[in-house]
Amino acid sequence: MIPIDDSPIVRDGKSLILAMDHGLEHGPVDFEDVPEKLDPSTVFETATHDAVTAMAVQKGIAEGYYPSYEDDVNLLLKLNGTSNLWMGEPDSAVNCSVDYAAEIGADALGFTVYGGSNHEIEMVEEFRDAQEKGREYDLPMVMWSYPRGQGLKNDTKPSTISYATRLALELGADIAKVKYPGSKDAMAHAVQCAGDMNVVMSGGSKTSDYEFLSTVEAVIDAGATGLAVGRNVWQREDPTQLLDALEKVIYEEATADAALEATE
């Protein structure tokens, strides 16, 4: 962990990372209800909102679209990823080098580690190479810390999420992105396990405005430093309205009710 409060992906100690790597991770199915979002420019436009501290994409999207947005959006380049077509034990192919991410203009790096997978050893070794190389460029490293695999029946139970944040701290991440463990108390324990490292919640599939904002409120109350979210923002008809509300909950620590009232 290195100090990242001055990094462009952090605003007042918090982060709101807009993720759009779903075309690889889940496939076109995530765009069925919002086919216009298949054009990555539409989500880059959303990422120009002041609340968004970085947009997380894979190399191909960064190469093709980031040049038009580099003045308005901070780039978090995801270095590995797997498609939903892969049926094996959880694993993630490293498809971009740190040198190339820096050349494209990345402000931060992203890397998935599936602790508990039969491929954990290789993934952690790949993470080591990326994390150490990233230090040469002063690029913060966000770990998608997602314990899963044949030995893990429930990948969001509190003890698993606490292990996920601790694992990220000990392996040298600067931000751990973890699933919500189901309650504010469980999230608070996961944050405690991370020491001084920042912890952000992974968005998950789309829910109602109130449900999502209430969960974010609980996560911020628990001491987490924000969100890395995809579908809950760009699958909405009006992503900007939700970002206005998220800005209040994350940076002003408003309640979900107050944020909704102020932005509707």
What is the C-alpha separation between 33 and 261, in angstroms, rounded? 27
Identify the active-site residue in 177, 179, 184, 248: 177
Our answer to whether residue 177 is catalytic in this structure is yes
8 Å CB contact between 113 and 145: yes
Choose which of 116, 147, 172, 230 interacts with ligand FBP (CB under 6 A). 230
How far apart are CB 136 and ligand FBP at their closest, in Å?
25
Strands 141-145 and 108-113, bridge-based pairing: parallel
Nearer to ligand FBP, 172 or 230 (CB): 230
Q: Which stretch binds ligand FBP (CB under 6 A): 35-43, 46-54, 224-232, 246-254?
A: 224-232
Task: Please report, as residue ranges, which positions from 125 to 164 form the binding site for ligand FBP (by CB under 6 A).
Answer: 144
What is the C-alpha separation between 158 and 149, in angstroms, rounded? 17
Choose which of 115, 140, 147, 203 interacts with ligand FBP (CB under 6 A). 203
8 Å CB contact between 101 and 44: no
Q: Which stretch binds ligand FBP (CB under 6 A): 38-46, 59-67, 229-237, 256-264?
A: 229-237
What is the C-alpha separation between 169 and 220, in angstroms, rounded? 19
8 Å CB contact between 20 and 230: yes
Interface residues with ligand FBP (CB under 6 A)?
Answer: 19, 21-22, 25-26, 144, 202-204, 229-232
Residues taking part in catalysis: 177
